[in-house]
Amino acid sequence: MITIVCGEDNSSSRLYFAGEISNFKSKGFEVKSIASEELKFLESGYIDKTLFGSKTIYINENTHKAFLRNKKALNTLLDTLSKNKDLVILIWEDSISKRDLGLTASVTIKEFRPDKNIFKLIESCYPSNLKAFINTMNEIRTKTNDFFVFIMLSRHIKKLILYQHGIMPPNLQTWQEIKLSNQEKYWKSDLIIDYYDKLISIDYLIKTGKSPYKVFDYIETLSAYYL
């Protein structure tokens, strides 16, 4: 059994991943971390039980990064491993959607998608649109992790900056490009770079524990100035 936990909502996916590990431990499984490069060794055999008789669950993180240039090899490997019904593997993929993983192998995929209103929020982030932006933020602030919203917003602003400079994000769909094109027109290059710079500064304060305010308060203050 192979289960892959993924999704852009990495906070929820990580909690689920940790919860699954705890569940297996409670069932008597021994948890063993395995590097992506070592997964292939499970094809030829593995020790199902430890010296004390407990079964083993193999865990791994960000397997797809080890196969970025050869997704076919990853799918082939996972298909082969999935045929062994006694083999238990749990993989966590950080902040990537099921679609972008591009897996065709016969494995179980548990995807955690962001609230649709988060996409509505980041798409409404542009000058002269403050009211709509704040209204949307108020809709999600009580039911969504604030730092996750912050990360999604920061990534999107970075994507807009790159798009303004002719750098296309990978796997960009036509409808996504249309939205980026429409949104970036509202931003002057120096203004959006300054906005992103402020977001990076806030990220530093949060991660170093030096932030005296809540994340949504920061976003709201920045929005009042830039939007």
- pLDDT, one tens digit per residue, over 87-111 is 899 999 998 989 889 899 999 999 9
Angle at 202 between CA 196 and CA 205, to 5 degrees: 150
Given a cut of 70, whether residue 49 has pLDDT beyond it is: no
> When comparing pLDDT for 143 and 65, which is higher?
65
DSSP 114: P
CA 159 to chain centre: 15
Task: Tell me the residue type at 69.
Answer: R
The mean pLDDT value of the chain amounts to 89
Residue 115 burial by Cβ neighbours in a 10 Å radius (0-12, 13-18, 19+): middle
> What's the token pair of residue 121?
């929020």
**193 or 144, which is more confident?**
193
In this prediction, residue 158 has a pLDDT band, given cuts at 50, 70 and 90, of very high
Residue 97 is encoded by which pair of tokens? 């959607």
Burial class, 92, CB count within 10 angstroms (exposed 0-12 / middle 13-18 / buried 19+): buried
How does residue 47 score in pLDDT terms, banded at 50, 70 and 90?
low
130-154: average pLDDT: 90
Among 53-62, 117-126, 156-165, the minimum mean pLDDT is found in 53-62
To the question of pTM greater than 0.85 for the whole model, the response is: no
Residue 124 confidence (pLDDT) above 80: yes
pLDDT at 132: 95
Instruction: Output the CA–CA distances (angstroms, integers) from residue 194 to 137, 158, 188, 226, in the order listed.
Output: 21, 11, 10, 9
pLDDT for 189: 94
Judged on CB neighbours under 10 Å (0-12, 13-18, 19+), 226 is middle
pLDDT for 48 beyond 80: no
Q: Is the pLDDT of residue 155 over 80?
A: yes
Q: Is the pLDDT of residue 193 over 80?
A: yes
Residue 144 gets the label, from left (phi > 0), alpha (psi -120 to 50) or beta, of beta
Q: Within 10 A of 218 (CB to CB), how many other CB atoms are there?
A: 20
Confidence of residue 55 (pLDDT cuts 50, 70, 90): confident
Residue 54: per-residue pLDDT: 65
pLDDT beyond 60 at 165? yes
Give pLDDT, residue 120.
93
Give pLDDT, residue 88.
92
